[in-house]
Structure 1
Amino acid sequence: MTDLKVGGVPEHFNYPWYVTLKNKEYTKENINLRWQDYPGGTGAMCKALRSGDVDIAIVLTEGIIKDIADGNPSKIVQTFVKTPLIWGIHVAAHSKFKKIKDLEHATIAISRFGSGSHLMAIVNAFNQGWNVENLRFKVIGNLQGGIDALTNGTADYFMWEHFTTKPLVDNGTFRRIDDCPTPWPCFVVAVRNEILENNFEEVKKVLDIINQQTTNFKDIPNIDEVLAERYEQQIEDIQKWLKITEWNDGKPITKNLITRIQNKMLRYNVIEKKKNSGEFIKNMYI
């Protein structure tokens, strides 16, 4: 039995992993796959990949590309969700800020430097024509930290996935000013190089199983009701999310895609220079 550790955010995107684990599909292939929630998001998972605390991570594209460029000994093996992530731009319900232009000099809550909430704040600032050099950040760790920072006024706005934070908008904790979609596919699967060297076939089996699950995921009877209950969402919000979300159908990641993403990240000042796109990926289907 091969032991492998996989990590991801405890959000609806990753429910297919829960289904395959519950059905013991990896065990049937002699793989002991253990799931670890990372509420701190991509920054926390990049750190876990570096330390070996996790072997496989479902991470935001922009975060892992930046971290591999900065020396993370991992490779992207495929996209996981090929549609953009919709980032909500939130302020406290009682905040004086009303429009996105009001936020130019405001303090931004981010989970970690290098996280999606950090990098997408830069993308949003670039979109607004603001000076990225002047952005001010407050590190808050995770979603709960963002709630605390906006409520007590130590930060002014916070970017997090639209549907995950929708209940907080509904209950009056946050007010959403606008949305900012990622200009690239949002989630990828990253694997530590050591695992790719020693357990290539096992990783390939894991990908085959999860890709099979996501291919038919929307056809699961009452999946909207299941997700709404599990993630404390309104069913109409889950239905909207299912309509706009597409998982990868098992196609390998290409150097061309990484190059296009790097070009955009460079334009948005998220990275300082491009690297050879082949350094970021490992083709599992040669």
Structure 2
Amino acid sequence: MSLLRASKIGQSKLARAFKVGYVPEHFSTPLAFAEQQGYYAAAKVQPEYIPYVSGTGHMIEALRNKDIDVAVGLTEGFVAGLGKGQDWFKIVGTYVKSPLCWAISTGINRTDVTSIDDLRGGKIGISRIGSGSYVMPFVLAKERGWTEPFKFEVLTNFKNLRDGVNDKRADAFMWELFTSKRYYDTKEIKYVDRIYTPWPSWTITAHVDLIAKETPETDTLARWLKAVNLGVEYFEQNPDEAVAYISQNLDYTAEDAEAWLKTVEFVRNVGEVDTGSIIDNTVTILQSAGVIEDVSAEKKNEFVHSVADSI
């Protein structure tokens, strides 16, 4: 069972409960370690972690509905949403510096899809409009020089995506490589190709209402981000424990967890946002791929709320 849950610490004038959306995959391990090691309690914050197996697009909706206050998700989904005028949240930090490797998968018996070229103008399964699984096909088309538009089939979650490529509701879908690999091993889906994000892969966002309520006395975001930093540090210093946690709680083999550890680089100070690589670069690529329209420099400045100075 995952360690992520509401931190059980005593009520305090300096401790405020808030809800954090996250994807229950291997990337969440430092968040769990921060709880396990008591870093949230020491920081006097009470995060309640809410899992979103369907990913970033669903968390953006949850932020809009105020079901969560903070979300840890994919950069491209958050930036695409902000670029489309979704102004109920801001980017407050960076979580993972390394790019995300998206595996492109199809049904195990799909003889009509044997290479990436077979997807040109095809139907792509996605979790939600605006999610990373929706954004990345545009990036793929841009990289390949394709002009034919994709058709999209909204399938909500990873299980439905796997089913969808087998029953031909979709020709392929994109999902993180190591999360997909288990289902290559069990012969449920078939690997086609891969594509990397040209930006840091995971960022942290917060609802504007939470940001507006922040005071030097509560400082909820800064306190939580400091605790997450310690969780990242513990993760990096204890790779064997990370492999054990991932393989026992998050549906990955120990071998895959070890392989993933060699590819991932978390941010040492998660409260920092490199606007050049995260905002400018991502906006430029998403614009060129046709995901969002032109965004002014003034508007891009509004995408980020800086917390770094408080950490």
TM-score, normalised relative to structure 2 = 0.87
Q: Distance in 1 between matches of 2:97 and 2:281?
A: 14
Do the aligned partners of 2:29 and 2:245 also contact (CA within 8 Å) in 1? Answer: no
Q: Does 1:214 align with 2:232?
A: yes
Q: Does 1:252 align with 2:275?
A: no
CA deviation after TM superposition for structure 1 residue 175, in Å:
0.6
Do the aligned partners of 1:80 and 1:189 also contact (CA within 8 Å) in 2? Answer: yes
Q: Does 1:20 align with 2:43?
A: no
Flag structure 2 segments of 5+ consecutive residues without an equivalent.
1-14
Q: Does 1:36 align with 2:50?
A: yes
Q: Does 1:283 align with 2:306?
A: yes
Q: Does 1:232 align with 2:248?
A: no
What secondary structure does 2:193 align onto?
A: strand
2:9 alignment counterpart: none
1:174 alignment counterpart: 189
Q: Deviations over 1:159-210 (max 9, x none)?
A: 0000011110110011111011111011100011110121351110100110
Q: Does 1:164 align with 2:193?
A: no
Q: Distance in 2 between matches of 1:254 and 1:283?
A: 11
After alignment, is 200-209 or 24-33 more displaced?
24-33
Do the aligned partners of 1:215 and 1:247 also contact (CA within 8 Å) in 2? Answer: no
1:263 alignment counterpart: 284
1:76 alignment counterpart: 91
- The partner residue of 1:104 within 120, 123, 142 is 120
CA deviation after TM superposition for structure 1 residue 151, in Å:
2.0
Q: Distance in 2 between matches of 1:232 and 1:255?
A: 34
CA deviation after TM superposition for structure 1 residue 218, in Å:
2.6
State the Cα RMSD in Å: 1.5
Q: Distance in 2 between matches of 1:275 and 1:169?
A: 43
Do the aligned partners of 2:105 and 2:191 also contact (CA within 8 Å) in 1? Answer: yes
Q: Distance in 2 between matches of 1:29 and 1:101?
A: 51
Do the aligned partners of 1:46 and 1:72 also contact (CA within 8 Å) in 2? Answer: no
2:262 alignment counterpart: 243
- The partner residue of 2:72 within 40, 58, 77 is 58
2:263 partner amino acid: I
Q: Distance in 1 between matches of 2:55 and 2:82?
A: 16
Q: Does 1:67 align with 2:81?
A: yes
- The partner residue of 2:131 within 115, 121, 133 is 115
1:273 alignment counterpart: 294
CA deviation after TM superposition for structure 1 residue 88, in Å:
0.3
What secondary structure does 1:216 align onto?
A: helix
CA deviation after TM superposition for structure 1 residue 240, in Å:
1.8
Q: Distance in 2 between matches of 1:216 and 1:29?
A: 16
Do the aligned partners of 1:110 and 1:146 also contact (CA within 8 Å) in 2? Answer: yes
After alignment, is 225-234 or 98-107 more displaced?
225-234
Fraction of identical pairs, as percent: 30
Q: Distance in 1 between matches of 2:259 and 2:158?
A: 22
Do the aligned partners of 2:39 and 2:230 also contact (CA within 8 Å) in 1? Answer: no
Give the count of matched residue pairs.
285
Q: Distance in 2 between matches of 1:225 and 1:24?
A: 19
Q: Distance in 2 between matches of 1:19 and 1:255?
A: 28
Q: Distance in 2 between matches of 1:106 and 1:65?
A: 25
Q: Distance in 1 between matches of 2:286 and 2:268?
A: 25
Q: Distance in 2 between matches of 1:157 and 1:260?
A: 27
CA deviation after TM superposition for structure 1 residue 17, in Å:
1.1
Do the aligned partners of 2:22 and 2:51 also contact (CA within 8 Å) in 1? Answer: yes
- The partner residue of 2:161 within 146, 151, 170 is 146
TM-score, normalised relative to structure 1 = 0.95
